[in-house]
Chain A
Amino acid sequence: MPDPLLELRGLSKNFGALTVTSDVSLTVLPGEIHAIIGPNGAGKTTLIHQISGTLRPDRGTIRFAGQDVTALPFERRARLGLARSFQITSIVPGFTALENVALAVQARSGSSFRFLRPVANEKALNEEARAALDTVGLGRVADRGAAALSHGEKRQLELAIAIAMNPRLLLLDEPLAGAGPEETERLIGILRELRSRYGILLVEHDMQAVFALADRISVLVYGRVIVTGTVDEIRDHPEVRTAYLGEDALA
């Protein structure tokens, strides 16, 4: 078995008396899509926050690419190659699509304390940014203002930004949220192409997509991983069924 790209060990987090993450341990291998599913309020996004570095865990360690990153802030982890997308699309609306992506290329190519040369003319940045846009199928809207893109296109743009960071691990928080059926189809296609290049930790509500994409699935309930397994193992697991049936019964 190859060394894991990401390894969580005994991660715990409380908000006051509320336990949102409870002794979570899991790994993501290179080239693997590891999906996290669970009912609403299971603590999926909180877990993503801790992995990306926007939230500090109370206990436990996070190792990324062989390094303990538990104490590193968000932007330092990003520079190590940990790229995350957000549940609510996060782009720079006043930038063009190209400039949004070029910003990510810029972050890993040389100093940004350069004050005079027009960055919009930097060929090396723009070419890499265009390549990332092409990967997600946004090449034709590269020069459009990001605010004017459709919802699905914005989700694709966020993926392109993540790719342009040249990451080792993609941390995707509900990349399909709010996308229509056609857009979902396209995004699943893109994710499938990306899987060989990066490790992916995927949080997603769309079960169809999860079952189609994931190599392994972890089920999170009340902040605890109740089971980790392959698609088939998870589909037939009795505890998973109760967890989801429970949610249905409540709804």
Chain B
Amino acid sequence: MTAPFRKHALALATLLALAAAPFLGFGDGFALSLLARAMILGMAAVSLSLLVGGAGLVSLGHAATMGIGAYTVVAFDAAGVSEGLIVFPAAIAAAAAYALVTGAVSLRTSGVHFIMITLAFGQMAFFTTSSFSSLGGDDGYTLYARTEWLGTRILDNRLTFHFLCLGLLALVWVGGNLLLGSRFGRVLRAARENPQRALAVGFQPYPYRLVAYVMAGAVGGLAGALLANATEFVSPALLSWTRSGELLFMVILGGVGQIGGAILGALAIVLLEESLSHLMVYWRLVFGPLLVLSVLFLPDGLVGAPLRLRAAIRFASPKRRNADA
């Protein structure tokens, strides 16, 4: 029991810290909206991590699912519908449908081709949303109001929204881990490491990958619907390929080996971006090298950092003792 606990300790601690944050001086509107953003992007990053780390599918178009979720909220808003019981399932379904159609095609390729084709689909979605003039086109769209639940404006309370995002993030994280440990997950992992072996025992990886791709898309759609509510503004920038790249970077920075890493990665990037941009104008000059260094020195990502640190200390300590002697 202790081994799996230790494996997930860092992600669990992060979730607990997020739960405590509003009561530890991060309860103001600015801090809460920043944390909400981090948690929502974290949710999308966890679903991408399921594809990258679990199934070995490096998608460079994952932001499109988030964008489709967000634009579903916008489309309903423009039509005067803001009931969550309609809007949220619709956002999830729309993103899942997009993932089903694009995945059915993309998953026939692999490696670099897969990256390129997911990028291409993502760009198609980007330009499609840019051309919706009734939804603001390039300029984006400001929501009239946040989504209601059974007619109540429950999401307007920032603290409620904080814990809704946190709860859903935790749910996605736990669900993802269960998924990877299930029969389904075992087939995915085997097909990632050795597709020939999966075939040889009788598993065609394609349907398993497609289902995983649709599931990740659905979570992306959920994240998008939440993000639209968090910012109350949606623009095509949400679907840009740099946003997909950012999600991918959150996954890699956090650690591909564990989907919980994506939570850490998302939080680290959102907070770093925010604090650096306040410190100086040319913050990207610092941000870039920091990311490069993290990849160089933390190949297992942030989740692997404690282990690496412990190993480094163990490696350094006898030397120091010898020097003293």
A104 CB within 8 Å of chain B:
yes
B167 CB within 8 Å of chain A:
no
**Min distance, Cβ A42 to any Cβ of chain B, angstroms:** 23
**Min distance, Cβ B195 to any Cβ of chain A, angstroms:** 10
B208 contact set on A, CB distance < 8 A: 112-113
* B179–A115 touching, CB < 8 Å: yes
B201 contact set on A, CB distance < 8 A: 78, 103-104, 107, 161, 165
* A107–B189 touching, CB < 8 Å: no
**Min distance, Cβ B54 to any Cβ of chain A, angstroms:** 12
* B178–A79 touching, CB < 8 Å: no
* A93–B203 touching, CB < 8 Å: no
Contact with B along A63-79 (1 / 0, CB 8 A): 00000000001111011
Closest B residue to A105 by beta carbon equals B201
**Min distance, Cβ A174 to any Cβ of chain B, angstroms:** 15
* A92–B194 touching, CB < 8 Å: yes
Most buried by A among B178, B184, B202, B203: B202
* B194–A116 touching, CB < 8 Å: no
CA distance A149 to B194 in the complex (A): 17
A90 contact set on B, CB distance < 8 A: 194, 196-197, 200
If A78-B200, A79-B202, A103-B201 touch, does A118 touch B189 (CB 8 Å cutoff)? Answer: no
Interface size on B, residues (CB 8 A): 24
CA distance A108 to B201 in the complex (A): 9
A102 contact set on B, CB distance < 8 A: 186
**Min distance, Cβ B7 to any Cβ of chain A, angstroms:** 13
Closest B residue to A74 by beta carbon equals B199
A79 contact set on B, CB distance < 8 A: 202
* A115–B182 touching, CB < 8 Å: yes
Closest B residue to A88 by beta carbon equals B196
**Min distance, Cβ B194 to any Cβ of chain A, angstroms:** 5
B187 contact set on A, CB distance < 8 A: 103, 106, 112
A73 contact set on B, CB distance < 8 A: 204
**Min distance, Cβ B147 to any Cβ of chain A, angstroms:** 28
**Min distance, Cβ A251 to any Cβ of chain B, angstroms:** 31
CA distance A110 to B193 in the complex (A): 23
Closest B residue to A171 by beta carbon equals B200
- Give the residues from 57 to 89 in chain B that come closer than 8 angstroms, CB to CB, to chain A: none
A231 CB within 8 Å of chain B:
no
CA distance A74 to B181 in the complex (A): 26
Closest B residue to A99 by beta carbon equals B186
Between-chain CB contacts (< 8 Å), 18 pairs = A52-B200, A78-B199, A78-B202, A83-B200, A84-B200, A86-B200, A92-B193, A94-B193, A95-B189, A103-B187, A104-B201, A113-B183, A114-B182, A114-B184, A115-B178, A115-B183, A116-B182, A117-B183
Name the 10 nearest CB pairs between A and B, nearest first.
A78-B202, A107-B202, A79-B202, A104-B201, A114-B183, A112-B183, A107-B201, A119-B183, A118-B181, A75-B199
